[in-house]
């Protein structure tokens, strides 16, 4: 694009640069075009009627020049390069302690790919930044209007829909920070896209490498501090502007040809100039009374829309999408700014220290928002003077600035000596063996490094390198290295805080509800909260809030030390470690989702339950959280009904263990807390019973289904069987499913055998014989641990088989030779640890019950499965007849029991003599033969009915065989 008519201001500079290009390049070429084009960019910018103020983000020199210019010019309108939709938030900065970040947040998006959600844009603001000076001046000076002219937060993502990662680069954040600290403070911005004012860093890697090498510095932040910050710190306004225009033009002309990035840069410039012309036309403001604050990169723009007289109507601003954006302030820190925008670690802290020193040296009065924490009373709140300073005619200041030699500051020995002593003191506190000799070494090495880098006065970066060399040596005894200690000493990582009045309603509500704890929760750090709920019932509401915060926020924000919340249980005392001040950003972002914790939690539970990837286990977890935190039966019933649909749609058994655990917990809770079960859980049991019966044969054959998942299915079927059958399910369905199962895996085969034992189709004796056959087969012995793995998993659906599993393990250890057992043992241990670690305690308890408790008793111990099994009811009828007199004696010895039974049965004949015939009992036995037959069958009496004369004897024998029953009934029936 052809530039405007050149002025004669920079004619001498053009001539010199043209001659230098011809001399170094051997004639006119691209170098001459670049050099002369840079002068044209500067000339064009300084002649613009609307004064352009180029800045670099977080630059003390820019902030100092801005404070000076605002007091001189007193503009009526300040145009600021910041997202235009963030304007209403700026007034809340006075309620915060800097640094903070202005944030635009969108949790639910419309018009963007769903995988981008949530969208977040932040613009960090520090006191040592030119934009903060402009904001403070405009907000606290009557009659001044602040207009944000940059693209909206919605357009940040609109203009780069191809890749969200490029959006961060578009707004000036390099791919990786220069040694950015990976700390908690560095993550205060999360994954938000950063919006900067004044991104000044070469986009041409070779250029940056060239500048660092010839500047004898390690990283870009140090180069900028040495060659821009220090020379421009005391320069006048015109010199500052022209130098910044020149730097912006240099970086712009040497930028690589990334089409998408250049397009976004130019679109931003068209956007801003379009907004400024619209405002000027709408308000009729004189451009001489305005000030445009933007990055130096954009100040040297060459688009046709540049300037108040630029082309209009060619650029169309696209409408915003339907995404709903929410806005707020979040805490920021020096480390977070460095990490997000690719600055060297400690550079923002050094800039803050330089800012304070510059204010003291130049006696410039900065602007601070009225009422801001730590700010003095501002004197800027006064009416504008009648005639504000107009923009002076442009003069050539670049030639003199480029010709003058660098000013070498004299060595400030007192300052450097103080730094050396302070770093040694800090190092000793952190475990280093530092001494006075190290302080002297740091002092001398700092001077030496500065001399090697062609500067007389050591910079903080020289001092940092010297301290690392002289103190750290080759080890770090503590958690902080010397480089970090220097950063802390130079000002530290200042962390901002959003004030109570600037918080969203949800955050204020949280602080209000936790006020009974009596803690200063807005302070950073961990605080211990003790809740005696039994003694102070009002603290139960605080406990509810803390448990919801535990569910919604990062784990370190609210961490329970004592107390738990489970279904059907409530703690009477709790202890918490709270760090809400440290995680203030997370609390603020919760406020973007709703006005109360309950609303946000309900919305999240619904999203989890109704999401496209929701599983049955996930829905049951949401129901459990609903009952735990919200105590909402309505929402639990709604989610339970939805769980039925999710379960019916599942075709895999991946979540069976979790479904079993949560279904058992919910069923136990409802049985103990409600008079009847909810309809949804009854339907869930019926649906789950039929569903898992259908999937069971496939799961046994499926190689992807683990033995634990199949065991969980069987556990659901067996543990819920009684309820399912009472609700109308058919047990035949389960029997058919087991009969149709034919697994190939040894673990699942053992699990199938356990299921058949539970169903009664396989006896325990047959199961034991099958285990013995496995040990007898040498081809099967190597896979025997896998059979044991299946038996251990079978303890989930059939816990009564614990003794059989102990027997199977014991037989293996007792029968297998060492040559087989020793190689086989690691496989057994790893198999059980990997697949059945949670069921091992049940197995160990059963083994402890069976095996002797002391080692000497082990030699004489006989396993129960090797002892002869006797039938306790195998006595003959002759034996029963012989014991009849003993039975009669037992009746006489326990008369109270017989009296009570006789009273219940209405027998009033009383006791007879021993030698009297026992005929009165015979009619009762004859009148109710079915009862006697049933009792005889239960007790194993197969001798049949006795003769009439032997009835009393048979009854005595029946009583004799159950003396414990008579003894137990005596005290119970004596009261009757």
Tell me how far CA of residue 812 lies from CA of 745, 792, 801, 817, 861, in angstroms.
Answer: 20, 15, 17, 9, 18
Q: Nearest 5°: phi and psi at 530?
A: -110, 125
**Residue ranges in the chain modelled with pLDDT below 50:** 1-4, 25-26, 162-181, 378-387, 871-878, 880-881, 883-884, 918, 947-966, 968-969, 972-976
Q: In the sheet that 290-295 helps form, which strands lie side by side, from edge to edge?
A: 51-55, 290-295, 77-83, 145-150
Q: Given phi > 0 = left and psi -120 to 50 = alpha, else beta, which region is 473?
A: left
pLDDT at 160: 67
Q: In whole angstroms, give the CA distance from residue 144 to residue 383.
A: 9
pLDDT at 949: 45
- Which sign, positive or negative, has the C-alpha torsion 346, 350, 351, 356? positive
Q: Nearest 5°: phi and psi at 576?
A: -130, 145
How big is the chain by its Cα radius of gyration, in Å? Answer: 43
Buried b (16+ CB within 10 A) or exposed e, 622-653: bbbbbbbbbebeebbbbbbebbbebbeebeeb
Contact 876, 940 (CB under 8 A): no
Q: In whole angstroms, give the CA distance from residue 347 to residue 410.
A: 23
Q: Which two tokens stand for residue 423?
A: 């770093």
Q: In whole angstroms, give the CA distance from residue 795 to residue 788.
A: 11
Buried b (16+ CB within 10 A) or exposed e, 765-801: eebeeebeebbeeeeebebbbbbbbbbbbbbbbbeeb
Q: Which residue has the tokens 């990169």?
A: 297
pLDDT digits (tens, 9 = 90+) for 864-891: 777 765 544 444 444 544 544 555 667 7
Q: In whole angstroms, give the CA distance from residue 736 to residue 719.
A: 18
Q: In whole angstroms, give the CA distance from residue 116 to residue 118.
A: 6
Alpha helices in 702-839 (DSSP H): 707-719, 721-726, 731-739, 746-759, 764-776, 784-793, 802-815, 818-835
What's 189's DSSP letter?
Answer: T
| Three-state secondary structure call for residue 726 | helix
Q: What is the DSSP string of 369-390?
A: -TT-TTPPPPS--SPPPSSPPP
What's 626's DSSP letter?
Answer: I
Contacts of 233 (CB under 8 A, 6+ apart): 60, 61, 64, 358, 362
pLDDT at 666: 92
Q: In whole angstroms, give the CA distance from residue 283 to residue 281.
A: 6
Contact 808, 832 (CB under 8 A): no
| Three-state secondary structure call for residue 554 | coil
Contact 864, 764 (CB under 8 A): no
Q: In whole angstroms, give the CA distance from residue 304 to residue 313.
A: 11
Q: How buried is residue 96: exposed, middle or buried, by Cβ count under 10 Å (0-12/13-18/19+)? A: buried
Measured distance between the N- and C-terminal CA atoms of the chain, rounded to whole angstroms = 114
Strand partners, 530: 575
Q: Nearest 5°: phi and psi at 577?
A: -105, 115
**Strands annotated E in 84-199:** 96-97, 100-106, 119-125, 145-150, 193-194
Q: Are strands 145-150 and 527-532 parallel, antiparallel or unpaired?
A: unpaired
Of 34, 44, 48, the residue nearest 10 (C-alpha): 44
Question: Could you check whether the bond before residue 118 is cis, i.e. omega within 30 degrees of 0?
Answer: yes
pLDDT digits (tens, 9 = 90+) for 488-535: 777 666 788 888 888 888 999 999 999 999 888 888 889 999 999 988
Q: Which residue has the tokens 């129901």?
A: 623
pLDDT at 76: 92
pLDDT digits (tens, 9 = 90+) for 69-82: 998 889 999 999 88
Of 507, 531, 506, 505, the residue nearest 517 (C-alpha): 531
Q: In whole angstroms, give the CA distance from residue 787 to residue 749.
A: 7
Q: In whole angstroms, give the CA distance from residue 799 to residue 485.
A: 60
pLDDT at 685: 92
């Amino acid at each position: 694009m052809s530039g405007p008519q050149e002025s004669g201001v920079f004619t001498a500079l053009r001539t010199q640069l043209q001659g230098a290009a011809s001399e170094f390049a051997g004639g006119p070429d691209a170098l001459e075009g670049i050099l002369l084009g840079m002068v044209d960019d500067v000339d064009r910018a300084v002649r613009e009627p609307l004064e352009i103020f180029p800045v670099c983000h977080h630059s003390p020199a820019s902030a100092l020049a801005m404070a000076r210019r605002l007091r001189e010019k007193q503009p009526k309108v300040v145009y600021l390069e910041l997202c235009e939709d963030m304007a209403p938030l700026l007034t809340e900065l006075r309620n915060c302690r800097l640094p903070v970040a202005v944030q635009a947040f969108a949790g639910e998006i419309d018009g963007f790919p769903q995988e981008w959600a949530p969208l977040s844009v932040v613009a960090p603001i520090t006191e040592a930044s030119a934009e903060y000076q402009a904001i403070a001046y405009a907000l606290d000076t009557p009659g001044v209007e602040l207009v944000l002219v940059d693209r909206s937060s919605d357009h940040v993502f609109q203009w780069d829909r191809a890749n969200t990662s490029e959006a961060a680069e578009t707004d000036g954040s390099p791919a990786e920070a220069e040694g950015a600290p990976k700390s908690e403070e560095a993550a205060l911005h999360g994954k938000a896209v950063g919006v900067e004012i004044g991104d000044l860093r070469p986009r041409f890697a070779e250029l940056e490498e060239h500048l660092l090498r010839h500047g004898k510095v390690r990283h870009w932040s140090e180069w900028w501090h040495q060659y821009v910050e220090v020379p421009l710190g005391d320069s006048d306004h015109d010199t500052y502007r022209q130098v910044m225009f020149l730097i912006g033009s240099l970086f712009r002309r040497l930028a690589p040809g990334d089409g998408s990035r250049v397009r976004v840069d130019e679109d931003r410039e068209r956007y801003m100039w379009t907004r400024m012309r619209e405002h000027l036309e709408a308000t009729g403001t004189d451009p001489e009374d305005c000030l445009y604050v933007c990055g130096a990169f954009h100040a040297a723009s060459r688009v046709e829309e540049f300037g108040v007289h630029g082309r209009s109507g060619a650029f169309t601003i696209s409408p915003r999408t339907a995404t709903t954006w929410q806005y707020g302030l979040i805490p920021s820190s020096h480390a977070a700014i460095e990490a997000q925008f690719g600055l060297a670690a400690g550079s923002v802290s050094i800039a803050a220290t330089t800012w304070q020193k510059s204010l003291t040296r130049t006696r410039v009065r900065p602007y601070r928002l009225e009422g801001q924490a730590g700010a003095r009373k501002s004197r800027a709140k006064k009416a504008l003077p009648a005639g504000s300073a107009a923009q002076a005619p442009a003069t050539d200041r670049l030639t003199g600035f480029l010709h003058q030699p660098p000013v070498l500051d004299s060595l400030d020995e007192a300052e450097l000596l103080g730094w050396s002593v302070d770093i040694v003191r800090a190092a000793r506190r952190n475990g280093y063996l530092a001494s006075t000799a190290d302080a002297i070494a740091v002092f001398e090495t700092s001077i030496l490094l500065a001399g090697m880098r062609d500067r007389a006065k050591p910079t903080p970066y020289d001092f940092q390198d010297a301290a690392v060399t002289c103190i750290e040596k080759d080890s770090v005894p503590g958690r902080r290295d010397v480089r970090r200690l220097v950063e802390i000493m130079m000002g530290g990582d200042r962390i901002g805080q959003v004030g109570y009045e600037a918080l969203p309603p949800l955050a204020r509500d949280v602080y209000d509800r936790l006020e009974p704890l009596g803690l200063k929760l807005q302070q950073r750090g961990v605080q211990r909260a003790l809740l005696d709920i039994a003694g102070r019932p009002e603290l139960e509401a605080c406990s509810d809030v803390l448990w919801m915060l535990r569910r919604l926020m990062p784990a370190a924000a609210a961490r329970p030390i004592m107390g738990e919340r489970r279904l059907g249980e409530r703690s009477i005392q709790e202890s918490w470690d709270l760090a809400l001040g440290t995680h203030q950003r997370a609390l603020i972002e919760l406020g973007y989702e709703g006005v109360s914790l309950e609303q946000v939690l309900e919305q999240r539970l619904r999203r989890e339950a109704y999401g496209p990837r929701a599983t049955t286990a996930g829905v049951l977890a949401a129901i459990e959280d609903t009952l735990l935190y919200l105590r909402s039966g309505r929402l639990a019933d709604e989610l339970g009904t939805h769980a039925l649909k999710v379960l019916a749609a599942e075709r895999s058994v991946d979540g069976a263990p979790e479904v079993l655990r949560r279904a058992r917990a919910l069923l136990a809770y409802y049985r103990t807390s409600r008079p009847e079960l909810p309809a949804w859980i009854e339907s869930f049991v019926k649906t789950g019973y039929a569903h898992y019966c259908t999937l069971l044969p496939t799961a046994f054959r499926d190689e992807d289904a683990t033995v634990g998942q199949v065991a969980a299915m069987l556990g659901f079927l067996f543990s819920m069987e009684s309820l399912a059958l009472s609700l109308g399910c058919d047990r035949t369905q389960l029997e058919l499913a087991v009969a149709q199962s034919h697994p190939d895996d040894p673990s699942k085969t053992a699990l199938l055998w356990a299921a058949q034992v539970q169903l009664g189709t396989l006896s325990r004796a047959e199961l034991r014989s099958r285990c013995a056959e496995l040990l007898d087969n040498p081809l099967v012995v190597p896979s025997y641990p896998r059979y044991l793995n299946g038996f251990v998993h079978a303890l989930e659906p059939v816990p009564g088989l614990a003794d059989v599993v102990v027997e199977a393990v014991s037989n293996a250890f007792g029968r297998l030779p060492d040559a087989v057992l020793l190689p086989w043992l690691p496989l057994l241990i790893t198999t059980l640890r990997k697949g059945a670690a949670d069921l091992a305690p049940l197995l160990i308890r059963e083994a402890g019950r069976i095996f002797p408790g002391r080692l000497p008793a082990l030699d004489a111990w006989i396993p129960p499965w090797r002892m002869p099994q006797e039938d306790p009811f195998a006595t003959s009828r002759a034996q029963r007849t012989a014991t009849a007199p003993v039975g009669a004696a037992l009746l006489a010895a326990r008369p109270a029991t017989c009296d009570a039974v006789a009273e219940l049965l209405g027998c009033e004949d009383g006791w007879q003599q021993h030698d009297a015939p026992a005929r009165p009992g015979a009619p009762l036995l004859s009148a109710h033969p079915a009862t006697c037959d049933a009792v005889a069958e239960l007790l194993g009496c197969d001798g049949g009915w006795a003769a009439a004369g032997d009835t009393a004897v048979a009854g005595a024998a029946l009583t004799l065989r159950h003396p414990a029953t008579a003894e137990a009934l005596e005290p119970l029936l004596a009261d009757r």
